[in-house]
């Protein structure tokens, strides 16, 4: 292994060793994720486009990797930071080890980093742009300072599909906007409907011409305000067809209704966020991955349905004048908590009632 450094834009330096696809310089916004399992799903989640993922769990790679756990055709993240990269996998499902998986996918990584210190720093300072690799400290600092980060950058265009495709065999018909959709979401939707996945730029009238029973707004990376034309497209769907949004889809529904979004200090990235369902008072343990959130009190045409108990972030909306709802978290989580999977049944019920 070759020595490597991680340098943040504020000058903080972390020592480690190069793993995965070895590069001199890789840069992006550095965030931390607190999941105990599911590292492959995290790495292949398109929502991490433009970001370097730090795992707070000390040992990563213990159970290897399998193609069955990929959430997308290829990873979109800029890199991976870990404390200890397991050199021996132990799981009957494993088809390979994580280091080789990263190298084959072209994803660079840095291991041996004091991720506790890094996480504390990000928590105190907020998400920072950083650069890592085998280059010298000055080169890495310059790369970190010149990287634009995620704010104001349309990252969806890099992860959305190029052409429509069909998946699932359920009895209904759903059109799913691919803003960076995860495979697990499509598996859940596929039990309800035959799902036609369309590129993020598909106009609303083209979707409505397909005569779907419902429209799904997927997760995706980055700043919702930077996704060109998306809010206007969603606004063109409302009132004509039932709509269900998750994560970025939640934020786009809010902005289509006139709401505002803002960037969180260090985002929500993990598998154990408590969310209160206001209708029942029940607390759901949820999987989350987002750096932006809907500003409370700005969405006049919708009611807040769920709230994050850690920081009060708006976690769910229900439109008053149209059959549409959304959540900020991930009810499809796998691995992860299943507390919120009822939301897919609620989408099915909404389609049953129609527009």
Candidate list 188, 269, 306, 330, residue with the active-site label? 330
Q: CA 226 → CA 53, 76, 223, 252, distances in Å?
A: 21, 18, 5, 11
Pairing of β 128-133 and β 3-8: antiparallel
Tell me whether residue 157 is one of the annotated catalytic residues: no
Tell me whether residue 330 is one of the annotated catalytic residues: yes
Radius of gyration of the chain (CA): 20
Q: Are 274 and 307 in contact (CB under 8 A)?
A: no
CA gap 328, 286 in Å, rounded: 10
Candidate list 12, 29, 332, 348, residue with the active-site label? 332
Count of alpha carbons within 13 Å of 270, Cβ hemisphere only? 19
Cβ neighbourhood burial of 2 (10 Å; 0-12, 13-18, 19+)? exposed
Count of alpha carbons within 13 Å of 59, Cβ hemisphere only? 8
Full DSSP string of 212-260: -SEEEE----S-GGGSTTHHHHHHHHTTTS-EEEETHHHHHHHHHTT--
Candidate list 247, 268, 269, 306, residue with the active-site label? 247
Tell me whether residue 151 is one of the annotated catalytic residues: no
Q: Which residues are catalytic?
A: 247, 330, 332
């Amino acid at each position: 292994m070759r020595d490597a450094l991680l340098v943040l834009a504020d000058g903080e330096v972390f020592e480690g060793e190069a793993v995965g696809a070895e590069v001199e310089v890789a840069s992006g916004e550095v965030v931390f994720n607190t999941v105990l399992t599911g590292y492959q799903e995290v790495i292949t989640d398109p929502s991490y486009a433009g970001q370097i993922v730090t795992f707070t769990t000390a040992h990563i790679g213990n159970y290897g990797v399998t193609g069955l756990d990929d959430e997308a055709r290829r990873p979109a993240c800029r890199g991976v930071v870990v404390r200890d990269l397991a050199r021996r996998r132990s799981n009957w499902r494993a088809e390979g080890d994580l280091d080789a998986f990263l190298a084959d996918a072209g994803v660079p990584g840095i291991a041996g980093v004091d991720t506790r210190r890094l996480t504390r720093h990000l928590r105190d300072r907020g998400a920072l742009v950083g650069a890592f690799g085998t280059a010298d400290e000055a080169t890495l600092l310059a790369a970190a300072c010149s990287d634009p980060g995620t704010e104001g950058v349309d990252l969806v265009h890099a992860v959305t599909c190029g052409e429509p495709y069909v998946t699932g065999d359920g009895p209904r018909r759903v059109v799913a906007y691919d803003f960076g959709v995860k495979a697990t979401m499509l598996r859940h939707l596929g039990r309800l409907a035959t799902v036609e996945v369309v590129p993020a730029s598909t106009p609303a009238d083209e979707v409505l011409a397909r005569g779907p029973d419902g429209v799904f707004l997927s997760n995706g990376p980055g700043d919702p305000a930077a996704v060109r034309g998306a809010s206007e497209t969603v606004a063109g769907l409302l009132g004509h067809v039932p709509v269900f949004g998750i994560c970025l889809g939640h934020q786009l529904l809010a902005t289509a209704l006139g709401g505002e979004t803002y960037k969180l200090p260090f985002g929500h990235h993990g598998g154990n966020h408590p969310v209160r369902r206001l209708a029942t008072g029940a607390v759901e343990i949820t999987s989350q991955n987002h750096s932006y959130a809907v500003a409370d009190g700005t969405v006049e045409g919708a009611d807040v349905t769920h709230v994050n108990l850690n920081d009060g972030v708006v976690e769910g909306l229900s439109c008053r004048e149209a059959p549409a709802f959304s959540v900020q978290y991930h009810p499809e989580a796998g691995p992860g908590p299943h507390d919120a999977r009822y939301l897919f049944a609620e989408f099915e019920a909404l389609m049953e009632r129609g527009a």
